[in-house]
Structure 1
Amino acid sequence: MKTSLSILALALPLVMASPLAHAASHSITTFIEEQDLNGDGKVSLAELKAGRQIGFMKADLDENGTLIEVEYVGEYEGRLMLKLSKIADPEKRKEEQQRQMRQAKVRFNVLDSDKSGAIDMTEYMASGVKMFERQDRDKDGFVTDKDRILLEADTKQGKGDDFIAP
């Protein structure tokens, strides 16, 4: 517990100065870009957990320890709108927004594993940890570019993971 609090204390200034920690991406490259809080090019499990804990707290607008759909989806929509502002074509922007928002609602229902209508910290953290474990291909405790290279090689040999991408 003391180690978790220390990591959280170190990560807090980095995360507070950056956008909310993102959902754990299926792409190893994107995962590293979004979850690497200290900019060292790798993501440790402790770093992922710290970012997710802070992200959860930021999204929990009523501070009751759970995220209801409007909190979860609303936080995502805010980040999405920033990304979509870079798409010049209004039709493509609208189409992508609709697609991504449908997917956000699906993700909420998947994360709400006990079907209570809300995501608690345990449910929220579990999804990130599962993605971390899948992406740490060499099982060294870090997700790095080496893991992307290993996944590419495995995929070429027909041994990849259909759920994640390089």
Structure 2
Amino acid sequence: MKHLLITTAALIAFAAPAFAASHSSTVFIEEQDLNGDGKVSTEEFKTGRKVEFVKADFNEDGTLSEAEYVGEFEGRLMIRLSKIADPEKRLEENQRQMRQAKVRFGVLDTDKNGAISFGEYLASGLRMFGMHDRDKDGFVTDKDVALAEKAAKEGKNDFVQP
């Protein structure tokens, strides 16, 4: 059992590059589908969130400080920004995104103790999962993407997009 858990964690660590749950249902599936079956179950999502949390918890104290949370985001942001050729646009986007990361930290730290617990982190992710799971069957699939597309066509703009 221990070997299976270690193997699973290694696979997930390799497959789960994203820290935040995407607002696009299509991207959400791409990023969170750890086993490659084209859908994301609640349990699969929870497992991925745990791995992401542990990877960001550099001092291994079981919580994410603002420095850990923002630092992990900044590392991923630098990769994205490297694709922007214009240095002014790159700097502007960096500043905007880093301000947002600090705001997100404050929102996720619901008990305002200066750290994000795994419970706080998971709760936020599960809220996003619930928004993507439009048919409420416990899975985010292409069917949910189609429902999001239908809502968009009907002019029902939503926080979560297809």
TM-score under structure 1 length normalisation = 0.88
- Root-mean-square deviation (CA, aligned residues, Å) is 2.2
Q: How far is 1:147 from its partner?
A: 0.7
In the TM superposition, what whole-angstrom CA distance separates every residue of 1:5-58 from its partner, at most 9, and x where no partner exists? 999656412222245442111111121121111222211111111111011111
What corresponds to 2:161 in structure 1? 165
Tell whether the 8 Å contact from 1:7 to 1:50 is kept in structure 2 after alignment: no
What corresponds to 1:148 in structure 2? 145
Q: Which runs of 5 or more structure 2 residues have no equivalent in the other structure? A: none
Instruction: State the distance in 1 between where 2:32 and 2:63 align.
Output: 22
- Secondary structure in 2 matching 1:67: strand
The answer to whether residue 113 in structure 2 is matched with residue 113 in structure 1 is no
In the TM superposition, what whole-angstrom CA distance separates every residue of 1:83-107 from its partner, at most 9, and x where no partner exists? 1112222222111111111111111
Among residues 7, 10, 13, which one is paired with 1:16 in the alignment? Answer: 13
Instruction: State the distance in 2 between where 1:137 and 1:62 align.
Output: 37
The answer to whether residue 34 in structure 2 is matched with residue 37 in structure 1 is yes
> Structure 2: which amino acid aligns with 1:164?
V
What corresponds to 2:75 in structure 1? 78
Tell whether the 8 Å contact from 1:73 to 1:104 is kept in structure 2 after alignment: yes
Instruction: State the distance in 1 between where 2:80 and 2:4 align.
Output: 29
Instruction: State the distance in 1 between where 2:130 and 2:6 align.
Output: 24
Tell whether the 8 Å contact from 2:16 to 2:31 is kept in structure 1 after alignment: no
Q: Which runs of 5 or more structure 1 residues have no equivalent in the other structure? A: none
Instruction: State the distance in 2 between where 1:73 and 1:46 align.
Output: 26
